[in-house]
A and B are shown apart, each in its own frame.
Chain A
Amino acid sequence: MSQKAEKLIDKKGLRLDGRKPDELRPIKIEVGILSNADGSAYIEQGKNKILAAAFGPREMHPKHLALPDRMVIRCRYHMAPFSVQERKSPSPSRREIELSKVIKESLEPTAFMEYYPRTGVDIFIEVLQADGSTRCASITAASVAMADAGIPMRDLVAACSAGKVDDTIILDLMDTEDKQGSADVPVALMPNQNAITLLQMDGTLTSEEFENAVNLALEGCRKIYAMQKEALKTKYVDVKEVEE
């Protein structure tokens, strides 16, 4: 990290792609685009292009993994071999296995798990193109896919990263900022419950910088939350009009 001399923030205080430090990348969320999944979503956040699908609640396979008192959520985060600069082997890397676990744990608090004992929900995330903060965009999309599948939920989860480059705290890191910056803090939030369901960090921050980064990321999550709701409304309002 941070060994290259290239400036990530110019004299005007703007970032490489012209954003202000506290500005999100353009985000587009589409709901229900996969006809075979029970619920699905597609997100574009800057150059990130990610598909998420939810299946279930359905019978668990293998059966011994089912729980008698609640449903089980399983998650697979996977990057396409062509999603990054150098081809990534399609077999799951250690990073992907860890991310699958933390993404699953960020989604679990939202679902009413006890409503569907002995069942399973499978969430599949495919990163088609990656440009930094893919775990956050994946959570945002997966949460919308779960809602689209009709799984009873307490709230949506919106996720966003914050970090530090050139001594400035910034929102929504893209790939170069993640690689050359000095810290990356991905955060996921259930805004109505004020519940942080994912928090990770790597890099170095003082406690003051950390507090600022978390606050900025939470602000980003709330903005993304509005877009998630808008995307869901767009789909379901359209459906209603067709029926009438």
Chain B
Amino acid sequence: MSSVITRVKQKQIAQTIAKGKRLDDRGLTDYREMKIEQGIIERAEGSARILLGKTEVLVGIKIEIGEPFSDTPNEGVLTVNAELVPLASPTFEPGPPDENSIELARIVDRGIRESKTIDTEKLVIEPGKKVFVVFVDVYVLNHDGNLIDASALAAVAALLNTKMSNYEIKDDEVKIKPGYTQLPVKKHPITVTFAKISDKLVIDPWLEEEQVMDARISMAIDDDGNICAIQKGGSGYFTEKEVLEVAKMAREKAAEIRKKLKW
């Protein structure tokens, strides 16, 4: 996911961060400006668009009727997919999902699944036979760094905005009735990503910082301040002390964002 960045720039970013500052004047633990809009795609059952600085992600939710997994007959199904669409960055190419988009989708998926965001037991139409399948499609529209946090936030915002059709069962067939019900959403996980640059931890790395970073780590925090998913990425490493510091700061930051979004 990297593109060319000059050595001078690399050095400048690393040195500025070593001094505790950032090139865009943010503090090390500040997010860029965040703007979320919900319900912008009328055809989708739910949708949300987030602007995180210049990073832009659109999430659409579609709901279909399908079969449950055989090991969870009493639960609806959640499917998360991510598309790094070629218009979002010169480094994104058309074609089947690569490891970056699969990783992104799976991180978003784990945040939602492990925190039990959706009350999947309420999505059952006929146990073991028919359930609602929730498709979360993450669409990256502009890549300026930290796609993980932007996508995770947009996904939850879209789920909060999702309406399911009412239905009734007639002669063993599901008939759609007029009217809608809100998708049962119980939790609001917030994912916080840190980049390690010059042995310092910075929150919400933008694109050029991501190109310089040694490694990144993302933690999803649920409403009670529990950690519900983690992913380390990049070819560097973290010390044990750094990991515990990240866990502490991620909880604080998530609480701050939660308050701001009123989730």
Chain A interface residues toward B at CB < 8 A:
3, 94-95, 97-98, 100-102, 105, 108-109, 185, 190, 193-207, 210-211, 214-215, 218
Most buried by A among B97, B230, B244, B248: B230
Task: Please measure, in the bound complex, the distance between the C-alpha atom of A94 and the C-alpha atom of B240, giving whole angstroms.
Answer: 29
Q: Is B134 an interface residue (CB 8 A)?
A: no
Given A201-B229, A207-B227, does the pair A194, B247 have CB atoms closer than 8 Å? no
23 inter-chain pairs at a CB distance below 8 angstroms, sorted by A residue, are A97-B102, A101-B99, A102-B231, A102-B233, A105-B232, A105-B235, A109-B236, A196-B232, A196-B237, A196-B239, A196-B243, A197-B232, A198-B232, A200-B231, A201-B228, A202-B230, A204-B222, A204-B227, A205-B226, A207-B227, A207-B251, A211-B244, A214-B240
User: Is B238 a contact partner of A199 (Cβ separation < 8 A)?
Assistant: yes
User: Is A197 a contact partner of B228 (Cβ separation < 8 A)?
Assistant: no
CB distance from A68 to the nearest CB of B (A): 12
The stretch of B21-29, B103-111, B156-164 that contacts the partner chain: B103-111
Task: Please measure, in the bound complex, the distance between the C-alpha atom of A217 and the C-alpha atom of B235, giving whole angstroms.
Answer: 20
Chain B interface residues toward A at CB < 8 A:
72, 97, 99-100, 102-103, 105-106, 110, 113-115, 215, 217, 222, 225-240, 243-244, 247-248, 251
Residues of B within 8 A of A3 (CB): 72
| Closest chain B residue, CB of each to CB of A205 | B227
Task: Please measure, in the bound complex, the distance between the C-alpha atom of A95 and the C-alpha atom of B109, giving whole angstroms.
Answer: 12
Majority secondary structure of chain B interface residues (helix, strand, loop or mixed): mixed
Residues of A within 8 A of B100 (CB): 101
Given A98-B103, A101-B99, A199-B243, does the pair A193, B227 have CB atoms closer than 8 Å? no
| Closest chain B residue, CB of each to CB of A215 | B240
Residues of B within 8 A of A215 (CB): 240
| Closest chain B residue, CB of each to CB of A207 | B247
Residues of A within 8 A of B110 (CB): 202
Given A199-B232, A200-B230, does the pair A100, B237 have CB atoms closer than 8 Å? no
CB distance from A162 to the nearest CB of B (A): 12
Task: Please measure, in the bound complex, the distance between the C-alpha atom of A202 and the C-alpha atom of B231, giving whole angstroms.
Answer: 9
CB distance from A109 to the nearest CB of B (A): 5
Residues of B within 8 A of A198 (CB): 232
Residues of A within 8 A of B113 (CB): 202
User: Is A108 a contact partner of B235 (Cβ separation < 8 A)?
Assistant: yes
CB distance from A72 to the nearest CB of B (A): 11
User: Is A201 a contact partner of B106 (Cβ separation < 8 A)?
Assistant: no
User: Is B240 a contact partner of A194 (Cβ separation < 8 A)?
Assistant: yes
CB distance from A123 to the nearest CB of B (A): 14
Of A100, A101, A194, the residue contacting B239 (CB under 8 A) is A194
| Closest chain B residue, CB of each to CB of A107 | B235
CB distance from A69 to the nearest CB of B (A): 11
| Closest chain A residue, CB of each to CB of B222 | A204
10 A-B pairs closest in CB distance: A195-B237, A108-B235, A201-B230, A199-B232, A101-B99, A197-B237, A202-B114, A109-B237, A196-B238, A97-B102
User: Is A210 a contact partner of B232 (Cβ separation < 8 A)?
Assistant: no
User: Is B114 a contact partner of A203 (Cβ separation < 8 A)?
Assistant: yes
Of A105, A109, A202, A211, the residue contacting B229 (CB under 8 A) is A202
CB distance from A156 to the nearest CB of B (A): 14
User: Is A206 a contact partner of B226 (Cβ separation < 8 A)?
Assistant: yes
User: Is A199 a contact partner of B230 (Cβ separation < 8 A)?
Assistant: yes
User: Is B99 a contact partner of A97 (Cβ separation < 8 A)?
Assistant: yes
Residues of B within 8 A of A109 (CB): 235-237
Most buried by A among B99, B217, B225: B99
Residues of A within 8 A of B228 (CB): 201-205
Task: Please measure, in the bound complex, the distance between the C-alpha atom of A207 and the C-alpha atom of B102, giving whole angstroms.
Answer: 28
Of A95, A195, A200, the residue contacting B238 (CB under 8 A) is A195
Most buried by A among B97, B225, B227: B227
Residues of B within 8 A of A194 (CB): 239-240
Task: Please measure, in the bound complex, the distance between the C-alpha atom of A99 and the C-alpha atom of B243, giving whole angstroms.
Answer: 20
Most buried by A among B110, B222, B225, B240: B240
Given A196-B243, A203-B114, A204-B226, does the pair A105, B99 have CB atoms closer than 8 Å? no
Given A204-B222, A207-B248, does the pair A100, B99 have CB atoms closer than 8 Å? yes
User: Is A200 a contact partner of B103 (Cβ separation < 8 A)?
Assistant: no
Of A190, A203, A205, A206, the residue contacting B237 (CB under 8 A) is A190
| Closest chain B residue, CB of each to CB of A182 | B114
CB distance from A18 to the nearest CB of B (A): 26
Task: Please measure, in the bound complex, the distance between the C-alpha atom of A195 and the C-alpha atom of B225, giving whole angstroms.
Answer: 26
Residues of B within 8 A of A101 (CB): 99-100, 102-103, 233
Known: A101-B103, A207-B248. 18 other contacts (CB 8 A): A94-B105, A95-B106, A98-B106, A100-B99, A101-B102, A101-B233, A194-B240, A195-B239, A196-B232, A196-B237, A196-B239, A197-B237, A199-B230, A200-B230, A202-B114, A204-B115, A204-B228, A205-B227
